[in-house]
Chain A
């Protein structure tokens, strides 16, 4: 293939792929944040820590219990989901009628504590998690080399995102969730156990973060600070997509990952800040975000 404005197609496609991978993580993480924010009105600052705990769950499971990748993909979200249920029931519920800032500070504090505990136990350096045998190797597409595991991550993330989107937008359970997002008191006055719904939603949201953590384990190293480095970008994604918008979180997550990748090709100097530049522009033009309901 010929060069396109001085850039080799190999480099371009490779960066688009890296962008898609990052975008897949942004999408799954911001989806969980959006669902939690929608119903619980909580800006869940411990989301990154839950992603990290998910990755550690899969690593610890393999290291000490012989649990393989595929089992971890199910078990880690369940374990972290249960932790989420307990956090909501014992801590967040007590402050649900207080100002936003309280839950923000509480979840931020939890994130710091979780990170601290894992640093104490495992040190700051990363632990390696091998790619499962089934997904080892790659395919030569002619114009680029595609590692199978990376293709799997993008596919798995997209499938999970759209399954969640379908559940929320097209099922009865999702209708409760959407209605609860608008007017919780009334949903409860219809006889639906809203406190339990909030509890399960929080557990589900952080379970999604853990799922992303397991997907990430073979790509990035499993390290206590892996969550805090990604979560700031994910918050920017949520703001750009529109707080609480499920579809917005998915599309913006994937899209911004690609934009970030392309920036690395064309103007690498701003690749770490491009998402925040986009955020500033979007906030100026559409303060409620691209998919948020403008008021």
Chain B
């Protein structure tokens, strides 16, 4: 990379609470999806939300963004209580959101998609840096969003939030349905994000992808956190995790 890496985080930064969720309940219409989620993420940490389909990982991420019909409890981002804020104000606290369905706009070109999210903070990646990180996107920049492959769409969905200067990223199922070679490339990107000090919350179906990178794993089942596994406990608790995640 030509760009300078961000300055290493100081100890005081590392203890800074980027996200604290307490007793979060979330609803879609009449259905009560989250039943009291509690979790904390400190600045610069990479945390995964693990669980089976329908356990509530995606809803947790969507709740942080304010994209559910109704929520109660507390979601403190960067010291600001956000549970009553609308999504655009939450985003401006410096959150970059990569949705499960990728959300590439079909009627916009790849580059228009890339340039769409407004700058939230200074220090975002430049277009050159992004194209260096995702060379495929440079070749496809004039293509219509709908013409991109699944892998390209996923790259683009991540790339466009790196441009905005967001330092807290929510990545929902970024490896889902992608070829191993693309998952490998995404692994390199995520590793770089961690090195650069981004705070990352990822929803994943298994710990295969993020296991080696994450500082902590939260297992979600029936809309609650049922297990919290620190990175150093991963080996000792592997069997337990697998029993939670097996279908």
Q: Which residues of A contact B (CB under 8 A)?
A: 172, 175-176, 178-179, 181-183, 185-195
Contacts and interface: CB of A to CB of B under 8 A. Distances in A.
B108 A175 contact: yes
Interface of B: 65-67, 86-88, 90-92, 97, 99, 103, 105-108, 112, 115-118, 120, 161, 164
Given A176-B116, A183-B103, A186-B103, A192 B88 contact: yes
Contact of B115 (A175, A182, A189, A195): A175
A189 B120 CA distance: 12
A181 B106 CA distance: 11
Nearest to B118: A191
Nearest to B120: A191
A192 B90 CA distance: 10
18 contacts: A175-B115, A175-B116, A178-B105, A179-B105, A179-B108, A181-B107, A182-B105, A182-B107, A188-B87, A188-B88, A188-B91, A189-B97, A189-B99, A190-B164, A191-B91, A191-B118, A192-B88, A193-B88
A166 B86 CA distance: 31
Contact of B86 (A172, A179, A188): A188
A193 B161 CA distance: 17
A194 B92 CA distance: 13
Nearest to A192: B88
A201 to B, nearest CB: 16
Contact of B116 (A181, A190, A193, A194): A190
A175 B120 CA distance: 18
Nearest to B119: A191
A291 B210 CA distance: 44
Nearest to A180: B105
Contact of B88 (A178, A182, A183, A191): A191
Nearest to B64: A189
A195 B105 contact: no
A182 B99 CA distance: 14
A228 to B, nearest CB: 33
Contacts of A178: 105, 107-108
A179 B116 contact: yes
B92 A191 contact: yes
Nearest to B90: A189
Given A176-B116, A179-B116, A190-B118, A185 B108 contact: no
B107 A195 contact: no
B116 A189 contact: no
Which of B112, B116, B161, B164 lies at the interface centre, i.e. has the most chain A CB atoms within 10 A of its CB?
A: B116
Contacts of A183: 103, 105
B60 to A, nearest CB: 15
B91 A189 contact: yes
B98 to A, nearest CB: 10
Contacts of B112: 175
B117 A191 contact: yes
Contacts of B86: 188, 195
A183 B90 CA distance: 18
A193 B87 CA distance: 9
A190 B67 contact: no
A181 B116 CA distance: 14
A190 B108 contact: no
Contacts of A172: 115
Nearest to B105: A179
Contacts of A182: 105-107
A190 B65 CA distance: 9
A181 B105 CA distance: 10
A179 B106 CA distance: 8
Contacts of B108: 175, 178-179
Nearest to A187: B116
Given A175-B115, A178-B105, A178-B107, A186 B164 contact: no
Smallest CB-CB A-B distances: 6 pairs: A191-B91, A190-B117, A188-B87, A186-B103, A179-B105, A189-B87
A192 B118 contact: yes
A187 B104 CA distance: 11
A183 B105 CA distance: 8
A190 B106 CA distance: 17
B42 to A, nearest CB: 23
A190 B135 CA distance: 24
A247 B164 CA distance: 31
Contacts of B161: 190
A243 B97 CA distance: 30
Contacts of B106: 182
B107 A190 contact: no
Contacts of B118: 190-192
Given A178-B107, A183-B103, A190 B115 contact: no
B105 A194 contact: no
A186 B113 CA distance: 12
